[in-house]
């Protein structure tokens, strides 16, 4: 099936490190007819630059809050990488004080101008920003848990890369589900469910699990103050966006791991594999069979993830 270009997608934070690379990848996506690039500044330049690429998608820049509503109207998918990234020594939670307010304001505008659009939230801490977005939508009376996704695709992309390298597998064949959340030990790659079926020694399991959990910090340290992952994140976000659009277009059997409203554990939000369809998250899949090693990590991550969720809910409802 060749779906036609019929979707409007907005990127909020489009002039940033992730936003610019992501916008380029989206401009190349044949499912997208209109790309709206919003940021507090600099989007006219990014949009003019991108508009010279000879792909079918048309692109328009929107700068400043007074243009936000127009950027959002008619959107099918809104992707949010707005906010500050980490510097060496910072955790994702250290970004909360700035990014929580940014995400809250942007989600208020989404709830008002495109309440039925799918949201892909990239801004960290994702473990808290997804609960914030959900509370905003609840307050506005437009909440649909199937539409709000925390983007954890980079954890899957990293896992697939590291495991194919470690095991000499073709990276195009490898698929590792990653569950939990998106920060430090809340990132739980299920190496026992690696496709194709792969055996790991106890040392390999520990080294790979810990590397995947700290992979974002690896990039933050290598960039030495110049930010966090942008190129790999843009790649991962483009993959997630494409999966959402393929689901919307009615394609069957589209799955990605994502941090969503979930009843898979006792926590209200949790990342597992999600089936994407015309309504967004059609089905949130269970964690499945896991090993005692993975159970140990799962027990450890739950209290940390719960604290981040509670922090987001409290922030969104504080006035």
Residues contributing to the site for ligand NAI (CB under 6 A):
12-13, 15-19, 39-40, 81-86, 95, 99, 102, 106, 122-124, 126, 151, 154, 182, 227-230, 233
Residue 211 labelled as part of a binding site: no
271 or 290: CB nearest ligand NAI: 271
Residue 225 labelled as part of a binding site: no
Task: Specify whether the CB–CB gap between 281 and 149 falls below 8 A.
Answer: yes
Residues 6 or more apart whose Cβ sits within 8 Å of residue 197? none
208 or 233: CB nearest ligand NAI: 233
Residue 39 labelled as part of a binding site: yes
Which residue of the set 182, 246, 273, 306 is catalytic? 182
Distance between CA atoms of residues 80 and 233, nearest Å: 12
78 or 287: CB nearest ligand NAI: 78
Residue 243 labelled as part of a binding site: no
78 or 200: CB nearest ligand NAI: 78
Known active-site residue 52: no
Q: CB of residue 291 vs ligand NAI: minimum separation in angstroms?
A: 25
Residue 16 labelled as part of a binding site: yes
Residue 122 labelled as part of a binding site: yes
Distance between CA atoms of residues 258 and 119, nearest Å: 12
Count of beta carbons in the 10 Å neighbourhood of residue 203: 8
Q: CB of residue 294 vs ligand NAI: minimum separation in angstroms?
A: 21
Q: CB of residue 161 vs ligand NAI: minimum separation in angstroms?
A: 14
Q: CB of residue 105 vs ligand NAI: minimum separation in angstroms?
A: 6
Distances (CA, A) of 29 to 6, 11, 99: 11, 14, 28
Distance between CA atoms of residues 219 and 316, nearest Å: 30
Taken in order 258, 259, 261, 266, the sign of the CA dihedral is positive
Place of tokens 């790999």: 232
Place of tokens 């409290």: 314
Taken in order 189, 195, 280, 230, the sign of the CA dihedral is positive
Q: CB of residue 196 vs ligand NAI: minimum separation in angstroms?
A: 25
229 or 244: CB nearest ligand NAI: 229
Distance between CA atoms of residues 66 and 73, nearest Å: 13
Closest Cα partner for 275 from 266, 262, 265?
Answer: 262
Annotated binding site for NAD(+): 13-19, 39, 99, 122-124, 233
Annotated binding site: 13-19, 39, 86, 92, 99, 122-124, 158, 233
- The catalytic residue positions are 182
Annotated binding site for substrate: 86, 92, 124, 158
């Amino acid at each position: 099936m060749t779906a036609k270009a019929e979707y409007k997608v907005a990127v909020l934070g489009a002039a940033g490190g992730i936003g610019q690379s992501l916008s380029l990848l989206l401009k190349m996506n044949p499912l997208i007819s209109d790309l709206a690039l919003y940021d507090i500044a600099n989007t006219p330049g990014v949009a003019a630059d991108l508009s010279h690429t000879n792909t079918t998608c048309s692109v328009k820049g929107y700068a400043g809050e007074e243009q936000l509503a127009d950027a959002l109207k008619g959107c099918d998918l809104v992707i949010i990488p707005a906010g500050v990234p980490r510097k060496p020594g910072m955790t994702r939670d250290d970004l909360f004080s700035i990014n929580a307010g940014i995400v809250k304001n942007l989600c208020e505008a989404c709830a008002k101008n495109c309440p039925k659009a799918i949201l892909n939230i990239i801004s960290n801490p994702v473990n808290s920003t997804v609960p914030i977005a959900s509370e905003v939508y609840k307050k506005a009376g437009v909440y649909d848990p199937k539409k709000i996704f925390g983007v954890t695709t980079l954890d899957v992309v990293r896992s697939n890369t590291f495991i194919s390298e470690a095991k000499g597998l073709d990276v195009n064949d490898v698929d590792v589900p990653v569950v939990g959340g998106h920060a430090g030990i809340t990132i739980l790659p299920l190496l026992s469910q690696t496709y194709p079926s792969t055996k790991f020694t106890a040392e390999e399991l520990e080294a790979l699990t810990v590397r995947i959990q700290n992979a974002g910090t690896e990039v933050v340290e290598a960039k030495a103050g110049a930010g966090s992952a942008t190129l790999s994140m843009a790649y991962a976000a483009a993959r997630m966006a494409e999966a959402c659009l393929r689901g919307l277009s009615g394609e069957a059997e589209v799955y990605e791991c994502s941090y969503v409203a979930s009843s898979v554990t006792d926590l209200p939000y949790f990342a597992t594999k999600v089936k994407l369809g015309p309504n967004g998250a059609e089905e949130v899949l269970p964690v499945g069979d896991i090993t005692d090693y993975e159970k140990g990590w799962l027990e450890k991550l739950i209290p940390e993830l719960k604290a981040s969720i509670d922090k987001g809910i409290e922030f969104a409802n504080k006035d």
